[in-house]
Amino acid sequence: MATGTRTCQTCGDAASWLPMFDSLSEKLQSAFRNLRGLGKISEDNVGEALREVRLALLEADVNFKVAKEFLGRVKEKALGEEVIKSITPGQQVIKIIHDELVTLLGSANARLEVGGNPSCLMLCGLHGAGKTTSAGKLAKLLKKQGRTPLLVAADVYRPAAMDQLATLGTQVEVPVFVRKEEKDVLKIARGALDEARAQNLNTLIFDTAGRLQVDEELVQELVRLRDLVKPQEILLVLDAATGQEAVSVATHFDEALGITGSILTKLDGDARGGAALSMKSVTGRPIKFVGVGEKLDEFEPFHPERMAGRILGMGDVVSLVEKAAETIEEDEARAMEEKMRKGTFTLEDFLEQMKAMKKLGPLENVMGMLPGGDQMMKNADMEKGKKELSRMEAIICGMTLGERRNPNVLNASRRKRVARGSGVSVAEVNTMLNKFYEMQKMMKKMGKLQKMMARMGGGPMSKMMGGG
């Protein structure tokens, strides 16, 4: 995928943070191209492919020990009897690499523990890691999930942090407990607990002061805060660009506090991403959330399998479906699917589809979730594509409702009027209509294929297409 601005306008689930993994992804896919062509697996050709993988991991700043153990597990499984006897040994090895990468990243999404009454969550980390912003983002996410959070300004050393948290609280419409005159963190914590119980708020998010891991006095302050509030989660906020240093930071905080997981911030940057790949293996603590942009909704639960799929160029269809489900009503989606299947999809429907796509975020982010989408976009002129979509939207908006629903009535004079009204040439109107008619034909073919699959008893493909 070409680098550049990829900030998702909505949530951007697993879509906007690939710049960090561009180089790693390209190198791994290069190694895979060699593997796919292998008709027979041997120690030599597996070793050659894995040398490329090893170089890619080390260049991505993955911890040396982590990379070595990862490759050892892949090699052992790749030379196993099951792979050697496989019809497609190259593909089998790629699957092994994918599965081991998922394991390396944490196997499964580690859910947030919020069992207390109220539940307490502590955020800690170094200066500048993004704790305060992450606190605001987490509050917004938890509120969306139906919880009633209270943000607690527990950084008594930096008044600006309290002001920032108060501003974030206003933006996400979550109350903030601020006591600027108080310098005792424990007194602030007691006051916040009392406030939460009085207001019936079920989740406290403590934004603590940034510190150096060597600042023992400040670390002990965190220990006292932990002992008082007994948090369900102690989340270490780490800047993903920190690289291997992030591992030593995590180890120190874990030894001092017993962290339960981490939040990786700034994954929308162009750093190498080794921290993400090393964290779980070295610390034993899962990555629970990732910050993927500056906006408050650019924050999401971490899914190892989805991350692995994106890094390996396999896409992230699950996230795309989830995002679509958030923005498109189920009944609306079903009605649209029915129209597509029957070939009754109109220009009015097409217009609604384009509006829905915009809600999913920038085109490059949506494409990046599709298998092979990153590669398709590598040399694509995304700006040109966006402009074309905008022109198509303008042309359709220039039509009457009757013309949108039945484009067959668009004779020469009507097309001329539409072109004039939408600021394009008649030729562009004709091109757009031809593309639409081709799309209609494709939809009819897909509808027939779906019916055939249903008659054959369904199966995975049928289910994907809405059958069985």
pLDDT of residue 50: 85
Q: Structure tokens of 404?
A: 């949108």
Domain with CATH 3.40.50.300 in the chain: 119-303
Q: Where residue 448 falls among pLDDT bands split at 50, 70, 90?
A: low
The secondary structure element, H or E, covering residue 118 is none
**Higher-scoring residue by pLDDT: 461, 206:** 206
Whether the pLDDT of residue 295 is over 90: the answer is no
**3-state DSSP assignment of residue 286:** coil
Q: Where residue 326 falls among pLDDT bands split at 50, 70, 90?
A: low
pLDDT of residue 409: 93
pLDDT above 90 covers a percentage of the chain that reads 29
Q: Structure tokens of 347?
A: 């220009």
pLDDT of residue 419: 93
- Distance CA(323)–CA(301), nearest Å, equals 13
pLDDT of residue 298: 85
Q: Where residue 235 falls among pLDDT bands split at 50, 70, 90?
A: very high
Please state the rounded mean pLDDT for residues 378-396. 71
Q: Looking at 85-215, list the stretches that DSSP marks H as alpha helix, in order from N- to C-terminal side.
A: 89-105, 131-144, 159-172, 185-199
According to CATH, the topology of domain 319-464 is: 434 Repressor (Amino-terminal Domain) (1.10.260)
Domain with CATH 1.20.120.140 in the chain: 18-105
Query: How much is the pTM?
Result: 0.67
**Higher-scoring residue by pLDDT: 249, 3:** 249
Looking at every residue in the chain, the average pLDDT score rounds to 78
Whether the pLDDT of residue 382 is over 50: the answer is yes
Beta strands in 244-308 (DSSP E): 261-265, 287-291, 299-301
Class at the top of the CATH hierarchy for domain 119-303: alpha beta
Say if CB 135 and CB 151 are below 8 A apart.
Answer: yes
Say if CB 299 and CB 290 are below 8 A apart.
Answer: yes
In the chain the first and final C-alpha atoms are separated, in Å, by 35
Class at the top of the CATH hierarchy for domain 18-105: mainly alpha
The secondary structure element, H or E, covering residue 125 is strand 119-125
Question: ∠ CA 306-363-390 to the nearest 5 degrees?
Answer: 165
Residue among 70, 71, 69 at smallest CA distance from 51: 71
- Distance CA(445)–CA(441), nearest Å, equals 6
Domain with CATH 1.10.260.30 in the chain: 319-464
Whether the pLDDT of residue 395 is over 80: the answer is yes
- Distance CA(337)–CA(238), nearest Å, equals 42
**3-state DSSP assignment of residue 154:** strand
The torsion region of residue 364 among left (phi > 0), alpha (psi -120 to 50) and beta comes to: alpha
Q: Structure tokens of 171?
A: 């933006």
For the segment 30-89, what is each residue's pLDDT rounded down to a tens digit? 777 766 666 677 777 778 878 888 888 888 888 888 889 999 998 888 887 666 666 566
pLDDT of residue 417: 94
Helical packing angle, 347-359 and 330-342, nearest 10°: 140
